[in-house]
Amino acid sequence: MPEKLAKDLYLLRVRLPRFKPPVLNAYLVAGDRSLLIDMGLYSLGALESLLAELGELGFRPADIDEVLATHSHIDHIGLAGIVAECRGAPVKMGAEECSILKEGGFQGYMDKVARVLAMQGIPEEVVRGMMASIGDEYPVPGVRRLYTEVLPRSVSCVLREGDTVEAGRYSFNVYVVSGHSPGHVVLHDPDHGVLVVGDHLLPKTTPQVSPLTPEDNPLARYLASLDKLERLDASLVLPGHEEVYRDHRARIRELRRHHEERLREMLKLLREGPRTALDIASRVKWNVDYASWDEMPPMDQYFAFAETISHLNYLVAKGLVRWEDRSGARVYLLSGQRGTE
């Protein structure tokens, strides 16, 4: 059932079958010019859920004037092609985000992930499991074709920092933030105090921060983006998952503390001696429902491993940690520690 959040502003809860998290928050802005923000997975179950939510408000996809995706992750943009065809207009997304769709598509993304793994000296069988979890075993049928063929035709990569999106009584300023994805957009209506944050500021879950190249430092960009968003005034924060909330500044403070604690945890592990990223990832205390690293599914292992590399790259950029190549694997050590001679 849709939830009215403010005048002409509705939360649509779209089911995500066989996916974690199981629900996407899509948002409908009604009025003279209507806007749908985010859509759901490329699956029949998600489509039925979206149509039912829209139908409760008397809308069909063909009635929506403009469609916008906060970022290119499958649970936010999977239905973009279907919605775009119903309306006859492309889905708007951040210009930077389109590198995933326009420069190599899904296979290009997979190649980048494989290169990051290879530079860390991950055992071949572990790489195969992680790559399969992202690709062939991903819980959405046709994900390769979706990213390779459907979405590049359906998405218009036109949103840039400083743009304005008009819908009904709302006027949203566009902010481009990086970290969770390369060109995630956040929408802010200062007159009505509405802040649409997608996955960048979830109220409970710490957004995934993954590197796209071996030297990438997405955590630095993510923390810098928090400074930018902290300056905005908002009384209604609309995340891509979980519950709508009120105080984004309090959440930003929590996220900063979380990453500071994670960085300290990794530095403590390195004080015990040099370690590979995989060794560190397997020893970090992740907030997951598995008793040990070996019990984690390959997809969750990949997320944890990518998060570890992001934090290590941040520490390297700060000069606190360095790495050495030992038999094709990066071994991390504190800057003051002795390495191989």
The CATH number of residue 305's host domain is: 1.10.10
d(CA 72, CA 82): 15
Q: Is residue 29 part of a domain?
A: no
CA distances to 13, 35, 58, 66, 225 from 62, rounded to whole Å, are 19, 12, 11, 10, 35
Domain that holds residue 321: 271-334
Question: Residue 281 falls within a domain, yes or no?
Answer: yes
Neighbours of 73 (CB within 10 A): 20
> Would residue 312 count as lying in a domain?
yes
Which of 56, 116, 115, 65 minimizes the C-alpha distance to 91? 65
23: Cα within 13 Å, side-chain hemisphere: 12
The reply to whether 74 falls in a domain is: no
Taking residue 316's Cβ as centre, other Cβ atoms within 10 Å add up to 17
Question: Looking at residue 245, what DSSP letter applies?
Answer: B
Rounded to an integer, what distance in angstroms lies between the CA atom of residue 133 and that of residue 140? 11
Report if residue 296 sits inside a domain.
yes
In a domain, 17, yes or no: no
CA distance 316 to 83: 43
Using CA atoms, how far residue 174 sits from 157, 165, 199, 231, 308, in Å, is 13, 7, 15, 14, 30
Between the two ends of the chain, the Cα-to-Cα distance in Å is 65
Residue 275 falls within a domain, yes or no? Answer: yes
Q: Structural domain tally of the chain?
A: 1
Strands 9-15 and 23-29: antiparallel
Contact status, residue 61 vs residue 86, Cβ threshold 8 Å: yes
Sheet bearing 236-239, strands edge to edge: 164-167, 170-177, 184-189, 194-198, 236-239
Q: What are the backbone angles phi and psi of residue 314, rounded to the nearest 5°?
A: -65, -45
pTM exceeds cut of 0.75: yes
- Is residue 134 a part of any domain in this protein? no
- Per-residue pLDDT tens, the chain, 341 aa: give them: 999 999 999 999 999 988 888 999 999 999 999 999 999 988 889 999 999 999 999 999 999 999 999 998 888 988 888 887 787 777 899 988 877 676 666 667 777 777 888 888 877 777 777 766 665 545 455 566 666 666 666 778 889 999 999 999 999 999 999 999 989 999 999 999 999 999 999 999 999 999 988 899 999 999 999 999 999 999 999 999 999 999 999 999 999 999 999 999 999 999 999 999 999 999 999 988 888 888 988 888 888 999 999 999 999 999 999 999 998 889 999 997 766 54
